[in-house]
Chain A
Protein backbone atom coordinates (compact mmCIF):
# COMPACT_ATOMS: atom_id res chain seq x y z
CA UNK A 1 0.00 0.00 0.00
CA UNK A 2 0.96 3.61 -0.50
CA UNK A 3 0.46 5.28 2.85
CA UNK A 4 0.69 8.96 3.77
CA UNK A 5 1.15 9.85 7.44
CA UNK A 6 0.61 13.46 8.53
CA UNK A 7 2.06 15.27 11.51
CA UNK A 8 5.59 13.98 11.08
CA UNK A 9 6.77 16.17 13.94
CA UNK A 10 4.76 13.97 16.31
CA UNK A 11 6.55 10.92 17.65
CA UNK A 12 3.58 8.63 17.02
CA UNK A 13 3.64 9.53 13.33
CA UNK A 14 7.31 8.57 13.03
CA UNK A 15 6.75 5.40 15.03
CA UNK A 16 3.95 4.38 12.71
CA UNK A 17 6.12 5.11 9.69
CA UNK A 18 8.85 2.93 11.11
CA UNK A 19 6.47 0.09 11.89
CA UNK A 20 4.64 0.18 8.58
CA UNK A 21 7.64 0.92 6.39
CA UNK A 22 8.72 -2.70 6.04
CA UNK A 23 5.59 -3.73 4.17
CA UNK A 24 4.31 -0.47 2.74
CA UNK A 25 5.52 2.59 0.87
CA UNK A 26 5.22 5.24 3.54
CA UNK A 27 5.45 9.01 3.06
CA UNK A 28 5.55 11.39 6.00
CA UNK A 29 4.43 14.99 5.83
CA UNK A 30 4.09 18.04 8.05
CA UNK A 31 3.56 21.75 7.61
CA UNK A 32 7.09 22.50 8.77
CA UNK A 33 10.33 20.74 8.00
CA UNK A 34 11.21 17.84 10.29
CA UNK A 35 14.84 16.84 10.48
CA UNK A 36 16.05 13.30 10.10
CA UNK A 37 12.89 11.83 8.61
CA UNK A 38 13.03 9.67 5.51
CA UNK A 39 10.47 9.93 2.74
CA UNK A 40 9.35 13.32 4.00
CA UNK A 41 7.39 15.85 1.95
CA UNK A 42 6.71 19.24 3.48
CA UNK A 43 3.24 20.53 2.71
CA UNK A 44 1.20 23.43 4.10
CA UNK A 45 -2.06 21.54 3.53
CA UNK A 46 -3.46 24.59 1.83
CA UNK A 47 -6.17 24.65 -0.80
CA UNK A 48 -3.77 24.21 -3.69
CA UNK A 49 -2.10 21.77 -6.03
CA UNK A 50 0.58 20.85 -3.50
CA UNK A 51 -1.99 19.14 -1.30
CA UNK A 52 -3.48 17.32 -4.27
CA UNK A 53 0.00 16.22 -5.35
CA UNK A 54 0.70 14.99 -1.84
CA UNK A 55 -2.30 12.66 -1.65
CA UNK A 56 -2.33 11.48 -5.27
CA UNK A 57 -1.88 7.72 -5.54
CA UNK A 58 -2.27 7.06 -1.83
CA UNK A 59 -4.23 4.02 -0.70
CA UNK A 60 -4.53 5.14 2.88
CA UNK A 61 -3.93 8.44 4.63
CA UNK A 62 -3.21 8.32 8.34
CA UNK A 63 -3.92 11.72 9.83
CA UNK A 64 -2.10 11.74 13.12
CA UNK A 65 -3.95 14.81 14.39
CA UNK A 66 -0.88 15.60 16.40
CA UNK A 67 2.04 17.96 16.17
CA UNK A 68 4.99 18.89 18.26
CA UNK A 69 5.41 22.20 16.47
CA UNK A 70 3.47 24.15 19.11
CA UNK A 71 1.87 27.38 17.97
CA UNK A 72 -0.86 29.72 19.13
CA UNK A 73 -4.42 28.64 19.84
CA UNK A 74 -5.46 30.06 16.47
CA UNK A 75 -2.70 28.23 14.63
CA UNK A 76 -3.53 24.94 16.29
CA UNK A 77 -7.22 25.28 15.53
CA UNK A 78 -6.31 26.16 11.97
CA UNK A 79 -4.33 22.91 11.78
CA UNK A 80 -7.19 20.95 13.28
CA UNK A 81 -9.93 22.32 11.04
CA UNK A 82 -8.90 24.07 7.82
CA UNK A 83 -5.86 21.94 7.07
CA UNK A 84 -7.72 18.72 7.77
CA UNK A 85 -10.59 19.84 5.54
CA UNK A 86 -8.12 20.59 2.74
CA UNK A 87 -6.45 17.20 3.21
CA UNK A 88 -9.67 15.19 3.17
CA UNK A 89 -11.18 17.15 0.32
CA UNK A 90 -8.05 16.63 -1.75
CA UNK A 91 -8.10 12.94 -0.86
CA UNK A 92 -11.69 12.66 -2.05
CA UNK A 93 -10.90 14.45 -5.28
CA UNK A 94 -7.87 12.23 -5.91
CA UNK A 95 -9.79 9.06 -5.13
CA UNK A 96 -8.05 8.00 -1.93
CA UNK A 97 -10.23 5.19 -0.64
CA UNK A 98 -9.53 5.37 3.10
CA UNK A 99 -8.52 7.84 5.79
CA UNK A 100 -7.54 6.80 9.28
CA UNK A 101 -8.04 9.68 11.67
CA UNK A 102 -6.19 9.34 14.93
CA UNK A 103 -8.49 11.13 17.31
CA UNK A 104 -8.28 10.94 21.06
CA UNK A 105 -10.28 9.46 23.90
CA UNK A 106 -9.91 12.90 25.44
CA UNK A 107 -13.06 13.86 23.50
CA UNK A 108 -14.92 11.54 25.88
CA UNK A 109 -13.08 12.90 28.89
CA UNK A 110 -15.99 14.57 30.67
CA UNK A 111 -17.93 11.35 31.06
CA UNK A 112 -17.99 9.83 34.51
CA UNK A 113 -15.08 7.41 34.92
CA UNK A 114 -17.43 4.91 36.56
CA UNK A 115 -19.51 4.57 33.40
CA UNK A 116 -18.97 1.92 30.74
CA UNK A 117 -18.38 4.43 27.97
CA UNK A 118 -18.39 3.10 24.42
CA UNK A 119 -18.51 4.62 20.95
CA UNK A 120 -22.29 4.96 21.36
CA UNK A 121 -21.87 7.68 23.95
CA UNK A 122 -21.90 11.21 22.69
CA UNK A 123 -18.64 13.14 22.74
CA UNK A 124 -18.01 15.22 25.84
CA UNK A 125 -14.93 17.30 25.09
CA UNK A 126 -13.58 20.27 26.97
CA UNK A 127 -12.55 23.52 25.31
CA UNK A 128 -8.89 22.65 25.76
CA UNK A 129 -7.44 23.45 22.35
CA UNK A 130 -6.06 19.99 21.61
CA UNK A 131 -9.20 18.19 22.70
CA UNK A 132 -11.48 20.59 20.86
CA UNK A 133 -9.30 20.13 17.79
CA UNK A 134 -9.79 16.37 17.87
CA UNK A 135 -13.52 16.85 18.25
CA UNK A 136 -13.68 19.24 15.32
CA UNK A 137 -11.55 16.85 13.29
CA UNK A 138 -14.03 14.05 13.88
CA UNK A 139 -16.82 16.39 12.83
CA UNK A 140 -15.13 17.16 9.51
CA UNK A 141 -14.23 13.55 8.74
CA UNK A 142 -17.71 12.34 9.59
CA UNK A 143 -19.33 14.73 7.12
CA UNK A 144 -17.11 13.49 4.29
CA UNK A 145 -17.91 9.91 5.25
CA UNK A 146 -21.60 10.71 5.45
CA UNK A 147 -21.45 11.79 1.82
CA UNK A 148 -19.75 8.49 0.94
CA UNK A 149 -16.79 10.34 -0.50
CA UNK A 150 -14.18 8.41 1.48
CA UNK A 151 -14.05 5.66 4.08
CA UNK A 152 -13.00 7.02 7.43
CA UNK A 153 -11.75 4.88 10.27
CA UNK A 154 -11.66 7.08 13.34
CA UNK A 155 -9.50 5.67 16.10
CA UNK A 156 -9.85 7.46 19.41
CA UNK A 157 -6.50 6.73 20.97
CA UNK A 158 -5.94 6.64 24.69
CA UNK A 159 -3.13 8.60 26.28
CA UNK A 160 -0.03 7.34 24.56
CA UNK A 161 2.34 5.55 26.90
CA UNK A 162 5.84 5.00 25.64
CA UNK A 163 7.45 3.10 28.46
CA UNK A 164 5.91 -0.17 29.54
CA UNK A 165 7.62 0.22 32.88
CA UNK A 166 5.59 3.29 33.80
CA UNK A 167 2.25 3.10 35.59
CA UNK A 168 -0.16 4.00 32.79
CA UNK A 169 -3.16 6.29 33.20
CA UNK A 170 -6.60 4.66 33.19
CA UNK A 171 -7.01 5.50 29.49
CA UNK A 172 -3.40 4.58 28.73
CA UNK A 173 -2.45 3.18 25.35
CA UNK A 174 0.90 1.55 24.91
CA UNK A 175 2.45 2.61 21.64
CA UNK A 176 2.74 -0.98 20.49
CA UNK A 177 -1.02 -1.34 20.86
CA UNK A 178 -1.57 1.90 18.96
CA UNK A 179 0.55 0.65 16.08
CA UNK A 180 -1.32 -2.65 16.10
CA UNK A 181 -4.68 -0.85 15.96
CA UNK A 182 -3.58 1.28 13.01
CA UNK A 183 -2.26 -1.79 11.18
CA UNK A 184 -5.63 -3.45 11.61
CA UNK A 185 -7.44 -0.31 10.47
CA UNK A 186 -5.55 -0.22 7.17
CA UNK A 187 -7.82 -2.80 5.60
CA UNK A 188 -10.48 -3.84 8.12
CA UNK A 189 -14.05 -4.07 6.87
CA UNK A 190 -15.83 -1.34 8.78
CA UNK A 191 -19.22 -2.33 7.38
CA UNK A 192 -19.26 -5.41 9.57
CA UNK A 193 -22.55 -5.62 11.38
CA UNK A 194 -24.38 -3.27 9.04
CA UNK A 195 -26.24 -6.06 7.20
CA UNK A 196 -26.37 -5.20 3.51
CA UNK A 197 -25.54 -1.51 3.80
CA UNK A 198 -22.05 -0.21 3.47
CA UNK A 199 -20.66 2.08 6.13
CA UNK A 200 -18.13 4.78 5.35
CA UNK A 201 -17.61 5.73 8.98
CA UNK A 202 -16.04 3.48 11.58
CA UNK A 203 -15.44 4.77 15.08
CA UNK A 204 -13.37 2.83 17.60
CA UNK A 205 -12.02 3.35 21.09
CA UNK A 206 -8.44 2.17 21.39
CA UNK A 207 -6.69 1.76 24.68
CA UNK A 208 -4.58 -0.86 26.39
CA UNK A 209 -5.57 -3.30 29.06
CA UNK A 210 -4.42 -1.33 32.07
CA UNK A 211 -5.49 -1.29 35.71
CA UNK A 212 -8.88 0.41 36.05
CA UNK A 213 -9.21 0.48 32.25
CA UNK A 214 -11.50 3.40 31.57
CA UNK A 215 -12.92 2.74 28.12
CA UNK A 216 -14.28 -0.42 26.58
CA UNK A 217 -12.66 -1.63 23.36
CA UNK A 218 -15.14 -4.31 22.35
CA UNK A 219 -15.99 -2.64 19.05
CA UNK A 220 -12.33 -2.47 18.02
CA UNK A 221 -11.77 -6.08 18.94
CA UNK A 222 -14.83 -7.18 16.99
CA UNK A 223 -14.55 -5.05 13.87
CA UNK A 224 -10.82 -4.45 13.59
CA UNK A 225 -9.49 -7.58 15.20
CA UNK A 226 -7.68 -5.38 17.69
CA UNK A 227 -6.05 -7.56 20.31
CA UNK A 228 -4.20 -6.48 23.38
CA UNK A 229 -0.68 -7.77 23.63
CA UNK A 230 0.44 -9.36 26.87
CA UNK A 231 2.83 -7.30 28.91
Chain B
Protein backbone atom coordinates (compact mmCIF):
# COMPACT_ATOMS: atom_id res chain seq x y z
CA UNK B 1 0.00 0.00 0.00
CA UNK B 2 1.27 3.49 -0.80
CA UNK B 3 0.93 5.53 2.36
CA UNK B 4 1.33 9.27 2.79
CA UNK B 5 2.36 10.31 6.29
CA UNK B 6 1.75 13.98 7.04
CA UNK B 7 3.76 15.36 9.93
CA UNK B 8 6.06 12.36 9.74
CA UNK B 9 9.01 14.03 11.41
CA UNK B 10 7.31 14.90 14.67
CA UNK B 11 7.18 13.01 17.95
CA UNK B 12 5.12 10.03 16.84
CA UNK B 13 6.36 9.61 13.27
CA UNK B 14 9.68 7.96 14.18
CA UNK B 15 7.70 5.25 15.97
CA UNK B 16 5.09 4.79 13.25
CA UNK B 17 7.53 4.51 10.37
CA UNK B 18 9.36 1.40 11.66
CA UNK B 19 6.01 -0.29 12.29
CA UNK B 20 4.90 0.21 8.69
CA UNK B 21 7.96 0.34 6.48
CA UNK B 22 8.30 -3.38 5.87
CA UNK B 23 4.80 -3.79 4.50
CA UNK B 24 4.11 -0.42 2.91
CA UNK B 25 5.70 2.15 0.61
CA UNK B 26 5.89 5.35 2.59
CA UNK B 27 5.91 8.96 1.43
CA UNK B 28 6.85 11.17 4.35
CA UNK B 29 6.13 14.89 4.65
CA UNK B 30 6.82 17.55 7.20
CA UNK B 31 8.05 21.11 7.49
CA UNK B 32 11.17 20.11 9.43
CA UNK B 33 14.52 19.28 7.96
CA UNK B 34 14.33 15.90 6.23
CA UNK B 35 15.14 13.01 8.54
CA UNK B 36 17.78 10.43 7.71
CA UNK B 37 15.40 8.08 5.94
CA UNK B 38 15.34 5.79 2.93
CA UNK B 39 11.76 6.83 2.24
CA UNK B 40 10.55 9.51 -0.13
CA UNK B 41 10.38 12.82 1.73
CA UNK B 42 8.54 15.98 0.73
CA UNK B 43 8.55 19.37 2.39
CA UNK B 44 4.82 20.00 2.87
CA UNK B 45 3.03 22.49 5.07
CA UNK B 46 -0.18 20.67 5.97
CA UNK B 47 -2.05 23.98 6.09
CA UNK B 48 -1.44 24.43 2.35
CA UNK B 49 -4.39 22.76 0.62
CA UNK B 50 -2.77 22.58 -2.82
CA UNK B 51 0.45 21.14 -1.39
CA UNK B 52 -1.41 18.43 0.51
CA UNK B 53 -3.44 17.50 -2.55
CA UNK B 54 -0.26 17.27 -4.62
CA UNK B 55 1.48 15.14 -1.98
CA UNK B 56 -1.41 12.68 -1.88
CA UNK B 57 -1.28 11.80 -5.57
CA UNK B 58 -0.83 8.07 -6.13
CA UNK B 59 -1.45 7.17 -2.48
CA UNK B 60 -3.76 4.45 -1.16
CA UNK B 61 -4.01 5.84 2.37
CA UNK B 62 -3.15 8.97 4.32
CA UNK B 63 -1.92 9.13 7.91
CA UNK B 64 -2.08 12.55 9.50
CA UNK B 65 0.32 12.90 12.43
CA UNK B 66 0.66 16.66 12.17
CA UNK B 67 0.03 18.68 15.28
CA UNK B 68 0.76 22.08 16.79
CA UNK B 69 -0.35 22.87 20.28
CA UNK B 70 0.37 26.38 21.49
CA UNK B 71 0.36 29.15 18.92
CA UNK B 72 -3.22 30.07 18.19
CA UNK B 73 -2.86 30.68 14.47
CA UNK B 74 -0.68 27.63 13.86
CA UNK B 75 -2.90 25.38 15.96
CA UNK B 76 -5.91 26.24 13.80
CA UNK B 77 -3.84 26.08 10.60
CA UNK B 78 -2.49 22.61 11.35
CA UNK B 79 -4.98 20.87 13.62
CA UNK B 80 -8.22 22.08 12.09
CA UNK B 81 -7.57 23.26 8.54
CA UNK B 82 -4.76 20.76 8.07
CA UNK B 83 -7.19 17.96 8.78
CA UNK B 84 -9.65 19.51 6.35
CA UNK B 85 -6.87 19.51 3.76
CA UNK B 86 -6.09 15.85 4.39
CA UNK B 87 -9.76 14.97 3.93
CA UNK B 88 -10.06 17.12 0.82
CA UNK B 89 -6.92 15.53 -0.65
CA UNK B 90 -8.29 12.05 0.02
CA UNK B 91 -11.56 12.89 -1.70
CA UNK B 92 -9.73 14.58 -4.58
CA UNK B 93 -7.72 11.43 -5.32
CA UNK B 94 -10.35 8.86 -4.39
CA UNK B 95 -8.32 7.67 -1.40
CA UNK B 96 -10.69 5.74 0.82
CA UNK B 97 -8.73 5.53 4.06
CA UNK B 98 -7.48 8.33 6.28
CA UNK B 99 -5.94 7.71 9.67
CA UNK B 100 -6.32 10.77 11.84
CA UNK B 101 -4.63 11.26 15.20
CA UNK B 102 -4.99 13.42 18.26
CA UNK B 103 -5.17 13.52 22.03
CA UNK B 104 -7.94 11.77 23.93
CA UNK B 105 -9.40 15.08 25.06
CA UNK B 106 -10.58 15.90 21.56
CA UNK B 107 -13.50 13.83 22.81
CA UNK B 108 -13.09 13.39 26.54
CA UNK B 109 -12.42 16.91 27.71
CA UNK B 110 -12.65 18.12 31.30
CA UNK B 111 -16.41 17.72 31.49
CA UNK B 112 -15.90 13.98 31.14
CA UNK B 113 -12.42 13.44 32.55
CA UNK B 114 -13.03 15.34 35.77
CA UNK B 115 -16.19 13.44 36.59
CA UNK B 116 -16.60 10.10 34.90
CA UNK B 117 -15.13 6.63 34.47
CA UNK B 118 -15.08 3.97 31.79
CA UNK B 119 -15.04 6.76 29.24
CA UNK B 120 -15.04 5.29 25.75
CA UNK B 121 -14.23 6.79 22.35
CA UNK B 122 -17.82 6.86 21.11
CA UNK B 123 -19.19 9.46 23.50
CA UNK B 124 -20.18 12.80 21.97
CA UNK B 125 -17.20 15.10 21.77
CA UNK B 126 -16.75 17.57 24.62
CA UNK B 127 -13.32 18.96 24.02
CA UNK B 128 -13.75 22.15 25.97
CA UNK B 129 -12.09 25.33 24.79
CA UNK B 130 -8.45 24.47 25.41
CA UNK B 131 -6.68 25.45 22.19
CA UNK B 132 -5.03 22.12 21.49
CA UNK B 133 -8.15 20.14 22.35
CA UNK B 134 -10.68 22.18 20.42
CA UNK B 135 -8.57 22.58 17.29
CA UNK B 136 -7.94 18.84 17.11
CA UNK B 137 -11.60 18.23 17.90
CA UNK B 138 -12.67 20.51 15.07
CA UNK B 139 -10.43 18.48 12.79
CA UNK B 140 -12.05 15.31 13.98
CA UNK B 141 -15.52 16.72 13.38
CA UNK B 142 -14.46 17.77 9.89
CA UNK B 143 -13.44 14.15 9.29
CA UNK B 144 -16.86 12.98 10.37
CA UNK B 145 -18.63 15.37 8.03
CA UNK B 146 -16.42 14.25 5.13
CA UNK B 147 -17.18 10.58 5.79
CA UNK B 148 -20.90 11.32 5.76
CA UNK B 149 -20.67 13.06 2.43
CA UNK B 150 -17.96 11.21 0.53
CA UNK B 151 -16.53 7.75 -0.08
CA UNK B 152 -14.01 8.13 2.71
CA UNK B 153 -13.32 6.17 5.87
CA UNK B 154 -11.54 7.88 8.75
CA UNK B 155 -10.02 5.97 11.63
CA UNK B 156 -8.95 8.29 14.41
CA UNK B 157 -6.37 7.02 16.89
CA UNK B 158 -6.30 9.02 20.09
CA UNK B 159 -3.29 9.08 22.40
CA UNK B 160 -2.11 11.11 25.35
CA UNK B 161 1.14 10.32 27.14
CA UNK B 162 3.90 8.14 25.74
CA UNK B 163 6.69 6.25 27.43
CA UNK B 164 9.63 4.14 26.43
CA UNK B 165 8.77 1.84 29.31
CA UNK B 166 12.20 1.77 30.89
CA UNK B 167 12.21 5.21 32.48
CA UNK B 168 12.57 5.07 36.23
CA UNK B 169 11.30 8.55 36.97
CA UNK B 170 7.70 8.34 38.05
CA UNK B 171 7.74 4.68 38.95
CA UNK B 172 5.33 3.93 41.80
CA UNK B 173 3.70 7.36 41.68
CA UNK B 174 0.85 6.61 39.30
CA UNK B 175 0.16 8.75 36.25
CA UNK B 176 -2.63 10.06 34.08
CA UNK B 177 -4.54 6.89 33.33
CA UNK B 178 -4.00 7.19 29.58
CA UNK B 179 -0.47 6.13 28.72
CA UNK B 180 1.12 3.84 26.16
CA UNK B 181 4.61 3.00 25.01
CA UNK B 182 5.86 4.58 21.84
CA UNK B 183 6.31 1.13 20.33
CA UNK B 184 2.75 0.00 21.07
CA UNK B 185 1.47 3.31 19.75
CA UNK B 186 3.32 2.77 16.48
CA UNK B 187 1.98 -0.76 16.21
CA UNK B 188 -1.60 0.51 16.35
CA UNK B 189 -1.17 1.95 12.87
CA UNK B 190 -0.72 -1.52 11.37
CA UNK B 191 -4.29 -2.70 11.94
CA UNK B 192 -5.59 0.79 11.26
CA UNK B 193 -4.14 0.44 7.76
CA UNK B 194 -5.10 -3.18 7.20
CA UNK B 195 -8.56 -3.47 8.77
CA UNK B 196 -11.07 -4.16 5.97
CA UNK B 197 -13.10 -1.02 5.55
CA UNK B 198 -16.33 -2.96 5.26
CA UNK B 199 -15.60 -4.57 8.63
CA UNK B 200 -15.72 -1.26 10.47
CA UNK B 201 -18.90 -0.29 12.32
CA UNK B 202 -19.11 2.95 10.36
CA UNK B 203 -17.09 5.16 8.03
CA UNK B 204 -15.87 7.27 10.93
CA UNK B 205 -14.45 5.38 13.88
CA UNK B 206 -12.43 6.56 16.85
CA UNK B 207 -10.14 4.50 19.04
CA UNK B 208 -8.56 5.14 22.42
CA UNK B 209 -5.03 3.76 22.25
CA UNK B 210 -3.41 3.22 25.62
CA UNK B 211 -2.07 0.37 27.73
CA UNK B 212 -4.20 -2.01 29.77
CA UNK B 213 -4.41 0.08 32.92
CA UNK B 214 -6.35 -0.75 36.08
CA UNK B 215 -7.77 2.71 36.76
CA UNK B 216 -10.99 2.23 34.82
CA UNK B 217 -10.98 5.89 33.87
CA UNK B 218 -10.99 5.25 30.13
CA UNK B 219 -11.45 2.10 28.11
CA UNK B 220 -9.31 0.82 25.26
CA UNK B 221 -11.70 -2.07 24.65
CA UNK B 222 -12.74 -0.85 21.22
CA UNK B 223 -9.20 -0.68 19.85
CA UNK B 224 -8.70 -4.28 20.90
CA UNK B 225 -12.08 -5.51 19.71
CA UNK B 226 -12.29 -3.74 16.36
CA UNK B 227 -8.63 -3.38 15.38
CA UNK B 228 -7.25 -6.41 17.17
CA UNK B 229 -4.52 -4.19 18.63
CA UNK B 230 -2.91 -5.41 21.86
CA UNK B 231 -0.58 -3.41 24.11
CA UNK B 232 2.55 -5.36 24.95
CA UNK B 233 3.70 -3.19 27.85
CA UNK B 234 1.20 -2.08 30.48
CA UNK B 235 3.65 0.13 32.32
CA UNK B 236 3.05 -1.60 35.66
CA UNK B 237 6.04 0.06 37.29
CA UNK B 238 4.23 3.38 37.16
CA UNK B 239 1.06 2.27 38.90
CA UNK B 240 2.49 -0.34 41.29
CA UNK B 241 3.80 1.02 44.57
CA UNK B 242 7.51 0.72 45.05
CA UNK B 243 8.35 -1.56 47.99
CA UNK B 244 9.72 1.28 50.11
CA UNK B 245 6.74 3.47 49.39
CA UNK B 246 4.02 1.08 50.46
CA UNK B 247 3.90 2.45 54.01
CA UNK B 248 4.33 6.02 55.06
CA UNK B 249 4.30 7.72 58.44
CA UNK B 250 0.80 7.78 59.79
CA UNK B 251 -0.32 4.69 57.95
CA UNK B 252 -0.04 2.77 61.21
Task: Spell out A's residues near B (CB within 8 Å).
Answer: 46-47, 72-74, 77-78, 81-82, 85-86, 89, 110, 124-127, 132, 135-136, 139-140, 143-144, 146-147, 149
Contact B49 A74 (CB under 8 A): yes
Number of A-B contacts (CB under 8 A): 73
- Could you write out 30 A-B pairs with CB less than 8 Å apart? A47-B72, A73-B88, A74-B47, A74-B81, A74-B85, A77-B80, A77-B84, A78-B81, A81-B80, A81-B135, A82-B72, A82-B77, A85-B76, A89-B129, A127-B87, A127-B88, A127-B149, A127-B150, A132-B142, A135-B145, A136-B142, A140-B134, A143-B109, A143-B126, A143-B129, A143-B137, A146-B126, A146-B128, A147-B128, A149-B129
A73 to B53, CA, bound (A): 14
A126 to B147, CA, bound (A): 10
Residue on A with the closest CB to B130? A143
Residue on A with the closest CB to B74? A82
Contact B138 A139 (CB under 8 A): yes
Contact A139 B141 (CB under 8 A): yes
Contact B149 A126 (CB under 8 A): yes
Q: How far is the CB of B110 from chain A (nearest CB, A)?
A: 8
Interface size class of B (residues with CB under 8 A): 20 to 34
A65 to B109, CA, bound (A): 26
Q: Knowing that A143-B127, A147-B128 are A-B contacts, what are 8 other residue pairs whose CB atoms are under 8 Å apart, sorted by A's residue number?
A: A46-B73, A47-B73, A77-B84, A82-B73, A85-B134, A125-B145, A127-B87, A144-B129
Q: How far is the CB of A215 from chain B (nearest CB, A)?
A: 20
- Best-surrounded residue of A47, A126, A143 (most CB of chain B within 10 A): A143
What residues on A are CB-neighbors of B126 within 8 Å? 143, 146
Q: How far is the CB of B204 from chain A (nearest CB, A)?
A: 13
A47 to B72, CA, bound (A): 7
What residues on B are CB-neighbors of A46 within 8 Å? 73
Q: Is B161 an interface residue (CB 8 A)?
A: no
Contact A81 B149 (CB under 8 A): no
Give the contacts of B55-94 with A (CB-CB under 8 A): 72-73, 76-77, 80-81, 84-85, 87-88, 91
The interface residues of chain B, by DSSP majority, are classed as helix
A126 to B148, CA, bound (A): 8
Question: Given known contacts A74-B47, A146-B126, is B146 in contact with A127 (CB within 8 Å)?
Answer: yes
Contact A78 B76 (CB under 8 A): yes
Task: Spell out B's residues near A (CB within 8 Å).
Answer: 47, 49, 72-73, 76-77, 80-81, 84-85, 87-88, 91, 109, 111, 126-129, 134-135, 137-138, 141-142, 145-146, 148-150
What residues on B are CB-neighbors of A144 within 8 Å? 129
Residue on A with the closest CB to B79? A81
Residue on B with the closest CB to A136? B138
Q: How far is the CB of A116 from chain B (nearest CB, A)?
A: 21
- Best-surrounded residue of B73, B81, B88, B126 (most CB of chain A within 10 A): B81
What residues on A are CB-neighbors of B129 within 8 Å? 85, 89, 143-144, 147, 149
What residues on B are CB-neighbors of A127 within 8 Å? 87-88, 91, 145-146, 149-150
Residue on B with the closest CB to A77? B81
Q: How far is the CB of B234 from chain A (nearest CB, A)?
A: 33
A74 to B85, CA, bound (A): 9
A146 to B138, CA, bound (A): 16
Question: Given known contacts A47-B72, A74-B47, A82-B73, is B141 in contact with A143 (CB within 8 Å)?
Answer: no
Residue on B with the closest CB to A107? B145
Question: Given known contacts A74-B81, A81-B81, A147-B129, is B76 in contact with A132 (CB within 8 Å)?
Answer: no
Q: How far is the CB of A95 from chain B (nearest CB, A)?
A: 16
Contact B138 A81 (CB under 8 A): yes
What residues on B are CB-neighbors of A73 within 8 Å? 49, 88
A77 to B47, CA, bound (A): 11
Q: How far is the CB of A47 from chain B (nearest CB, A)?
A: 4
Contact A140 B148 (CB under 8 A): no
What residues on B are CB-neighbors of A139 within 8 Å? 137-138, 141
What residues on B are CB-neighbors of A81 within 8 Å? 76, 80-81, 135, 138
